[in-house]
């Protein structure tokens, strides 16, 4: 029988931005910190990669809950990737890697994909959101000035849209919150789908 306690959810993410976004829409949540390998497999496209990572996070979080005898609540995971020329840029290993990412992205548009998984007992749904971000043709000096803020660290594509880097963005086609790391409308609809599923089971 399904556990129907959805008064709270677990957020399996270390991202402070995702925490802020859930707080913004008054979601009652608790953080679960998990680590899984995040490496693109051979011949794996960016969409398949992002969906796989999200679902692996959800399964790892479920295992963590069971092994630690924690209360059973729905588990929310998310994965954000920056893609250019079909290459997943990932998070920068160091300053030089971040600088090279910016050199690739300047004066062009790139894709930001955020995938979200909601899992609760037998229920699991995964949805991906794709957005395009258009950057100005920024100079090397402007890139260095941004990287000096440290805001690029631990961020896919070496930038956060809600930060100093926002001044270099000409426009976006898609969802701002998805680019930030958590598409709120998608989260809302997933939670509604879960409620409907539980009502029928």
Provide the residue range defining the domain that includes 35: 9-200
pLDDT digits (tens, 9 = 90+) for 105-130: 999 999 999 999 999 999 999 999 99
Task: Count other Cβ atoms within 10 Å, centred on residue 81.
Answer: 23
The residue with greater pLDDT, 82 or 7, is 82
In whole angstroms, what is the distance from residue 197 CA to residue 159 CA?
Answer: 37
The answer, yes or no, to whether residue 2 has pLDDT greater than 70, is no
Per-residue pLDDT, averaged over 32-47, amounts to: 88
Does a structural domain hold residue 2?
Answer: no
Does a structural domain hold residue 172?
Answer: yes
pLDDT at 184: 97
The residue with greater pLDDT, 4 or 1, is 4
How far does CA 63 lie from the centroid of its chain?
21
Which one is catalytic: 79, 121, 122, 173? 79
pLDDT digits (tens, 9 = 90+) for 127-177: 999 999 999 999 999 999 999 999 899 888 999 898 899 999 999 999 999
Does a structural domain hold residue 79?
Answer: yes
Q: What is the pTM of this model?
A: 0.91
Does a structural domain hold residue 31?
Answer: yes
Does a structural domain hold residue 1?
Answer: no
Does a structural domain hold residue 96?
Answer: yes
Here the tokens at position 29 are: 């949540």
Does a structural domain hold residue 16?
Answer: yes
At 110, which CATH number? 3.90.950.10
Does a structural domain hold residue 4?
Answer: no
State what percent of residues in the chain have pLDDT above 70.
99
Question: What angle is formed at CA 157 by the lines to CA 55 and CA 133, rounded to 5 degrees?
Answer: 95
| Catalytic residue flag (residue 79) | yes
Total domain count, the chain: 1
């Amino acid at each position: 029988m399904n556990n129907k306690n959805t008064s709270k959810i677990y957020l399996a993410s270390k991202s402070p931005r995702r925490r802020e976004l859930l707080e913004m829409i008054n979601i009652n949540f608790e953080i679960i910190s998990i680590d899984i390998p995040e490496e693109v497999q051979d011949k794996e496209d960016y969409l398949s990669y992002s969906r796989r990572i999200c679902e692996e996070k959800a399964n790892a979080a479920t295992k963590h809950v069971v092994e630690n005898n924690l209360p059973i609540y729905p588990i929310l995971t998310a994965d954000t990737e920056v893609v250019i020329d079909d290459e997943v840029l990932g998070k920068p290993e160091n300053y030089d890697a971040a600088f090279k990412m910016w050199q690739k992205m300047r004066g062009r548009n790139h894709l930001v994909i955020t995938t979200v998984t909601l899992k609760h007992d037998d229920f699991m749904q995964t949805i991906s959101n794709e957005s395009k971000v258009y950057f100005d043709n920024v100079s090397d000096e402007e890139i260095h000035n941004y990287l000096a803020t440290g805001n690029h660290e631990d961020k896919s594509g070496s930038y956060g849209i809600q930060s100093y880097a926002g001044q270099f963005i000409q426009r976006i086609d898609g969802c701002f919150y998805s680019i930030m790391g958590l598409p709120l409308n998608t989260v809302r609809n997933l939670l509604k789908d879960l409620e409907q599923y539980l009502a029928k089971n």
